[in-house]
């Protein structure tokens, strides 16, 4: 084996890792935010968690990516440690599928069907189909499938290059001499762990072992400890991802390490104990790629079956090894809202962002309700709560804006891209609604401090306008939460009603001033309140407008112009809402005016 073979081996490894990365990224985009939703909902039972871990790892072809995702979700406070243990075990079983796919490189025979199963035969065909899909497809989803196919082909090409690079070792006496060191199982475990830890890919490490097995120089006795070591080495990714996270997230990495280490520490002595007693004939036989895949699968299944009943003990062990500090025992840990580790899986990060955005929206809506109640019943504690909520809303906006901008720099599916765009546009409106809630609270504070009171008519009118505002607010927020265009289309008629009511209330206020039923000082406060309410309804219109503009691909200004000019459905909804609130004001409805 000369220097050119080494270069080819390293090049093959590079192809393998790049292909795995492209394929995993494509699969994650295809799965979208469903991963995070499923992880949260289906981890109540350890058997469900096990199957879920297997399924997701098979889907995204990366147990390391799933582990990093779990660390991020626990650090964000979305999942508990107990929910992740079964998923981690399942991911170890799911990752064995990659080894079976790679074992196709060891197929031999002249049968045309068998030849087609070899990577060098079918990889170019898959690559060609993938490239055609990428170049001709109009939809991003089809392009993502094409990228997955190209990534898979690059991965298999890398495997072929590695196999070809190490094939001269079959006749190398020096290589045979080096392999004698691996007759020591402890050395095999260490080499497998270190090498896998360095390249941070158990799939690539197993692939190289399968390539070496094609030389006929690697025996089962050498391969078994190396495979066990590879399972320990893959924990390095989880270990690195746990740097800078809270202790709950560190425990996820701890469980992952304990699971693989305990499996090796228990199974390796048992295997060699039985070998000493029964003298297994196959231990000295040469292993092939399928044999490597089989050993890898058996080890992970046996380890999982052995430790699955003891998930509670694994959890206790993690709490023992990663203990809370004194400060953390006195006070609850504050979870990071948006964990940077989730950026590795943008679809999951987007789902988490949507959840946090809804928390922000609910907080701004609650703050607005508190502010409106302050107008009719002043309370000092409520005033402090509104100010505290507004500060939290500002922090939400800063963190979400920065996080969403970072997500948008990744390659996203068209659906995820639209979701990010909606959130970026809407969080500013949620924040401004919080600001207006503070403005209303300040008006209520001024009324209380100066001992001023609105007249009975003015208070009743203000209550009616606030009822209309809260209905608009609830409708806009519901449209955003459910991403429901039907609800979004109902917001604009209500917003127009608030504008009409606002004008009516201003006219009534002017009459009261002329009749000296209201003071100028009260008039200023009343006008400020009407202005704030009108602007809040405008922000509700903006939220609904963003959904309509992005999903229906139309200019919102042209849409609103056409809507108010000649849309019968809009006019019907507008008159229906207006009649309802006119009745509350004691004003004749439009139907009554027409009849008169």
d(CA 447, CA 88): 59
Is the pLDDT score of 431 beyond 90? yes
* DSSP 8-class letter at 78: S
Confidence of residue 301 (pLDDT cuts 50, 70, 90): very high
What average pLDDT does range 37-44 have in this prediction? 59
Is the pLDDT score of 345 beyond 70? yes
Residue-level pLDDT at 102: 72
Residue-level pLDDT at 563: 67
- pTM of the predicted model as reported, rounded to 2 decimal places: 0.59
Confidence of residue 335 (pLDDT cuts 50, 70, 90): very low
Residues 6+ apart with CB under 8 A from 570: 492, 493, 563, 564
Annotate 307-327 with b (16+ C-beta within 10 A) or e (fewer): bbeebeebbebbeeebeeeee
Q: Look up residue 558 and give its two tokens.
A: 């042209």
Among 232-236, 321-325, 375-379, the range scoring the smallest mean pLDDT is: 321-325
Burial of 262 (0-12, 13-18, 19+ CB in 10 A): middle
What architecture is domain 454-596? Up-down Bundle (1.20)
pLDDT averaged over every residue in the chain: 80
Residue pair 311/82 in contact (Cβ under 8 Å)? The answer is yes
Residues 6+ apart with CB under 8 A from 158: 11, 12, 13, 14, 15, 16, 17, 18, 19, 207
Is the pLDDT score of 365 beyond 90? yes
Q: Could you tell me the sign of the dihedral formed by the alpha carbons of 12, 14, 18, 23, in that order?
A: positive
Is the pLDDT score of 582 beyond 90? no
Percentage of the chain modeled with pLDDT above 90? 16
Residue pair 507/460 in contact (Cβ under 8 Å)? The answer is no
Residue range 146-195, pLDDT digits in tens? 888 888 788 778 767 776 776 666 556 665 566 566 678 888 888 888 87
Is the pLDDT score of 327 beyond 60? no
Is the pLDDT score of 370 beyond 90? yes
Residue pair 203/42 in contact (Cβ under 8 Å)? The answer is no
Confidence of residue 595 (pLDDT cuts 50, 70, 90): very low
Residue pair 429/480 in contact (Cβ under 8 Å)? The answer is no
Cβ count near 61 (within 10 Å): 23
What average pLDDT does range 218-230 have in this prediction? 87
Residue-level pLDDT at 191: 84
Which residue blocks in 200-322 are alpha helix, DSSP H? 202-213, 220-233, 235-241, 247-278, 289-307, 311-321
d(CA 225, CA 406): 42
Q: Look up residue 474 and give its two tokens.
A: 């609830």
Q: How far is CA 235 from the centre of its chain?
A: 22
d(CA 122, CA 156): 9
Largest CA distance in the chain: 111
Compute the radius of gyration of the chain from its Cα atoms: 32
Q: How far is CA 193 from the centre of its chain?
A: 30
Q: Look up residue 13 and give its two tokens.
A: 């490894």
Residue-level pLDDT at 475: 93
Q: Look up residue 330 and give its two tokens.
A: 């006195």
N residues, the chain: 596
Is the pLDDT score of 66 beyond 90? no
Q: How many CA atoms lie within 13 A of 451 on its CB side?
A: 0
Among 71-85, 104-118, 421-435, the range scoring the smallest mean pLDDT is: 104-118
Residues 6+ apart with CB under 8 A from 174: none
Find the helix packing angle between 63-75 and 346-376, rounded to 10°. 20
Confidence of residue 27 (pLDDT cuts 50, 70, 90): low
Residues 6+ apart with CB under 8 A from 161: 8, 9, 11, 12, 15
Residues 6+ apart with CB under 8 A from 325: 247
Highest mean pLDDT out of 27-41, 126-140, 235-249, 525-539: 525-539
What average pLDDT does range 269-283 have in this prediction? 85
Q: Look up residue 172 and give its two tokens.
A: 């190398």
d(CA 193, CA 157): 25
* Location of structure tokens 């050119």: 4
Residue range 505-528, pLDDT digits in tens? 888 888 888 887 778 888 888 899
Residue-level pLDDT at 590: 46
What average pLDDT does range 106-112 have in this prediction? 56
Confidence of residue 372 (pLDDT cuts 50, 70, 90): very high
Confidence of residue 34 (pLDDT cuts 50, 70, 90): low
What average pLDDT does range 292-304 have in this prediction? 90
Residue-level pLDDT at 361: 92
Is the pLDDT score of 328 beyond 60? no
Residue range 193-218, pLDDT digits in tens? 887 777 766 777 787 788 788 878 78
Residue-level pLDDT at 330: 41
Burial of 64 (0-12, 13-18, 19+ CB in 10 A): buried
Residue pair 75/245 in contact (Cβ under 8 Å)? The answer is yes
Is the pLDDT score of 331 beyond 50? no
d(CA 265, CA 348): 35
Is the pLDDT score of 106 beyond 70? no
Which residue blocks in 279-411 are alpha helix, DSSP H? 289-307, 311-321, 326-330, 346-376, 380-408
Is the pLDDT score of 40 beyond 90? no
d(CA 576, CA 571): 8
d(CA 387, CA 380): 11
Is the pLDDT score of 437 beyond 90? yes
Looking at per-residue pLDDT, the higher value among 221 and 43 belongs to 221
Is the pLDDT score of 446 beyond 50? yes
Is the pLDDT score of 401 beyond 70? yes
Is the pLDDT score of 334 beyond 50? no
Whole-angstrom CA distances from 335 to 70, 356, 548 are: 14, 12, 34
Residue pair 160/19 in contact (Cβ under 8 Å)? The answer is no
Is the pLDDT score of 594 beyond 60? no
What architecture is domain 346-451? Up-down Bundle (1.20)
d(CA 319, CA 250): 10
Residue-level pLDDT at 581: 84
Domain boundaries defined on the chain: 3-322, 346-451, 454-596
Q: Could you tell me the sign of the dihedral formed by the alpha carbons of 272, 274, 275, 276, in that order?
A: positive
Equal fold, 346-451 vs 454-596: yes
């Amino acid at each position: 084996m000369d220097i050119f073979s080494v270069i080819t081996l390293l090049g093959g490894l590079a192809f393998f890792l790049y292909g795995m990365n492209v394929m995993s990224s494509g699969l994650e985009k295809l799965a979208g935010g469903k991963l995070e939703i499923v992880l949260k909902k289906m981890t109540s039972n350890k058997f469900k968690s096990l199957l879920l871990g297997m399924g997701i790892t098979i889907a995204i072809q990366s147990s390391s990516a799933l582990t990093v995702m779990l660390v991020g979700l626990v650090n964000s406070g979305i999942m508990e440690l107990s929910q992740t243990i079964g998923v981690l075990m399942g991911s170890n079983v799911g990752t064995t599928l990659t080894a079976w796919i790679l074992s196709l490189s060891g197929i031999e025979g002249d049968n045309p069907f068998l030849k087609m199963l070899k990577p060098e035969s079918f990889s170019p065909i898959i690559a060609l189909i993938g490239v055609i899909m990428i170049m001709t497809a109009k939809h991003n989803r089809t392009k993502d499938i094409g990228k997955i196919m190209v990534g898979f082909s690059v991965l298999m090409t890398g495997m072929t290059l590695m196999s070809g690079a190490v094939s001269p070792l079959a006749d190398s006496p020096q290589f045979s001499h080096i392999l004698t060191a691996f007759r020591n199982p402890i050395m095999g475990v260490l080499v497998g762990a270190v090498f896998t830890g360095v390249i941070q890919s158990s799939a690539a490490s197993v692939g190289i072992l399968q390539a070496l097995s094609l030389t006929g120089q690697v025996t089962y006795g050498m391969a078994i400890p190396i495979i066990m070591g590879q399972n320990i080495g893959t924990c390095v990714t989880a270990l690195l991802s746990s740097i800078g996270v809270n202790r709950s997230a560190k425990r996820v990495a701890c469980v992952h390490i304990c699971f693989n280490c305990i499996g090796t520490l228990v199974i390796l002595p048992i295997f060699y104990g039985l070998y000493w007693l029964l003298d297994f004939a196959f231990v000295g036989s040469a292993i092939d790629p399928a044999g490597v895949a089989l050993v890898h699968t058996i080890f992970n299944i046996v380890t999982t079956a052995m430790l699955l009943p003891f998930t509670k003990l694994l959890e206790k062990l993690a709490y023992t090894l990663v203990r809370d500090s004194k400060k953390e025992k006195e006070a609850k840990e504050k979870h990071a809202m948006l964990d940077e580790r989730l950026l590795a899986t943008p679809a999951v990060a987007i789902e988490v962002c949507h959840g946090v955005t809804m928390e922000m929206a609910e907080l701004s809506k609650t703050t607005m309700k508190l502010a409106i109640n302050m107008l009719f019943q002043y309370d000092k504690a409520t005033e402090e709560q509104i100010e505290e909520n507004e500060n939290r809303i500002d922090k939400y906006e800063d963190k979400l804006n920065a996080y969403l901008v970072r997500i948008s720099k990744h390659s996203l599916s068209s659906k995820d891209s639209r979701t990010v765009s909606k959130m970026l546009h809407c969080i500013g409106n949620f924040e401004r609604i919080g600001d207006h809630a503070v403005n209303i609270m300040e008006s209520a504070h001024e009324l209380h401090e100066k001992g001023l009171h609105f007249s009975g008519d003015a208070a009743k009118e203000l209550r009616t306008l606030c009822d209309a505002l809260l209905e608009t607010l609830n409708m806009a927020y519901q449209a955003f939460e459910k991403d429901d265009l039907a609800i979004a289309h109902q917001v604009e008629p209500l917003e127009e009603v608030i504008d009409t009511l606002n004008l009516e209330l201003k006219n009534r206020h002017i009459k009261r001033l002329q009749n000296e039923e209201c003071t100028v000082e009260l008039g200023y406060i009343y006008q400020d309140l009407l202005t704030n309410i009108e602007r809040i309804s405008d922000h509700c219109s903006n939220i609904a407008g963003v959904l309509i503009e992005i999903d229906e691909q139309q200019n919102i200004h042209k849409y609103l112009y056409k809507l108010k000019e000649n849309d019968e459905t809009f006019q019907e909804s507008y008159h229906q809402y207006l009649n309802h609130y006119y009745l509350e004001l004691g004003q004749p409805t439009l139907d009554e005016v027409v009849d008169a």
